[in-house]
Amino acid sequence: MNDLVIVFPGQGSQFTGMGRSWFDAHESVRDRFRQASGIVGYSLEELVFTAPTAELTKTSHAQVALLVLSHAMYEVVSADRKVPVAAMAGHSLGEITALLAAGALDFEDAVRLVKARGEAMQICATENSTGMIAAVGTPVAEVERYVAEVNADGHRVQVANYNADRQTVLSGTLDELKVMTAHLEDRGCKVVRLNVAGAFHSTYMEGAVAAYTRVIEEIDVRDPAVPVYSTVTGRVYGSAQEIRDALAVQLTSPVRWSTVVAALAEREVGLWIEAGPKQVLKKLIAGAVGGDTVHSLDEGTEEALAALDRFIERKRREPGLVGLCMGAAAATRNRNFDEDAYAAGVVAPYRRLQELGRLDKDEVTEEQRRTALELLGTIMTTKRVPEPEQRERIASILRRTGGAGLETSTGAPTG
């Protein structure tokens, strides 16, 4: 259980007064609010803390406010800590916050992007009498079957959010959702109507795509510094171009949050932290993996920070990637008794590993980590370790150290 995952909430987590304690206590949060206000052309502070709730809940306003507050909260936490984040993810809008926190976007570009996203979605929603409902407590496969039954009569109800095994959100026209609600309730399903302005994450949002895509094409997008999971595909983004492509179709594609959580859980996550208001994602994740390792910065802040500090201290005491490579090299049984080959392929590489091992593990560069893995590969090959065993040992080291993306000369899978 060695990975730390940071997640960011999407629209629906906003409420008047959210983040007040963070705003009052931290100059960096106030700075982000002021910076964003200059970009969007209105006072974010007034919107969040004093404006009528109806103003904050507008799609064009809520998305900017959530992005800025969630990111500012994460910045506070990481400002005076070396936070060993293994991966990030976000629900819908929160995915853009994750990309920002991971370094794929600049703050100004992220605010511009979300402003355009919210405005385009709001305009599209006002042009159609649409909405969303949640089917709660019913397995996804059953909900999908019931949707297919309703759509067989000519309706266009669509799955918008795969939130959990037993929480599925549907989009459609208000008339269609009335039919869908009755169909679900007749079959014993619990249905909750969501207080949203439109049929998000469905083809009913096609009218918002062009304006949003124009801004995507204008901003600078980079490869993230840490892995970020796409809720469009359920997989880690592989490149900046993949980010652009996924963002362009995100408005009309379902949010595959349960798929993302399942993929992250395979990383042996030791700590999940939700950075943003409320604890919507904390509850969803806890329902899937158990609640002992899941925390929210907004509700239970001190508990979350204490858990984070304990995690950081534990990681500090653990050997880094180079140390694990040295341990694996020393523990590997030798099957090669050619002295010259042993000197060249084991002794010399191990001495180079020892040199790398003298560095602070937090200061080791990606290139040096890659070198350490290659040296271990050389040692194991020289010792005639079977390739499947080599792959497993290196994969284990990468799992323990969050080394996704590194490649080795052994051709071992790297996460």
**pLDDT tens, position by position, 104-152:** 999 999 999 999 999 999 998 888 889 999 999 999 999 999 999 999 9
**pLDDT tens, position by position, 337-353:** 999 999 999 999 999 99
The one catalytic residue among 13, 70, 92, 171 = 92
Judged against a pLDDT cut of 60, whether residue 411 lies above it is answered with no
Confidence of residue 267 (pLDDT cuts 50, 70, 90): confident
Judged against a pLDDT cut of 50, whether residue 415 lies above it is answered with no
Per-residue pLDDT, 398:
85
Confidence of residue 61 (pLDDT cuts 50, 70, 90): very high
Per-residue pLDDT, 395:
87
Per-residue pLDDT, 405:
52
Per-residue pLDDT, 364:
85
Confirm whether 71 is a catalytic residue.
no
Judged against a pLDDT cut of 80, whether residue 325 lies above it is answered with yes
Mean pLDDT (whole number) for 142-169: 96
Rounded to two decimals, what is the model's pTM?
A: 0.83
Judged against a pLDDT cut of 60, whether residue 410 lies above it is answered with no
Q: Smallest Cα–Cα separation from 20: which of 54, 55, 65?
A: 65
Confidence of residue 255 (pLDDT cuts 50, 70, 90): very high
The rounded distance, in Å, linking the Cα atoms of 109 and 107 is: 6
The one catalytic residue among 71, 183, 201, 295 = 201
Question: What is the pLDDT of the chain when averaged over all its residues?
Answer: 92
Per-residue pLDDT, 404:
52
Q: Radius of gyration (Cα) for the chain, nearest Å?
A: 24
Confirm whether 201 is a catalytic residue.
yes
Judged against a pLDDT cut of 90, whether residue 380 lies above it is answered with yes
Judged against a pLDDT cut of 90, whether residue 55 lies above it is answered with yes
Judged against a pLDDT cut of 80, whether residue 31 lies above it is answered with yes
The residue written with tokens 């995915």 in the block is: 95
Judged against a pLDDT cut of 70, whether residue 413 lies above it is answered with no
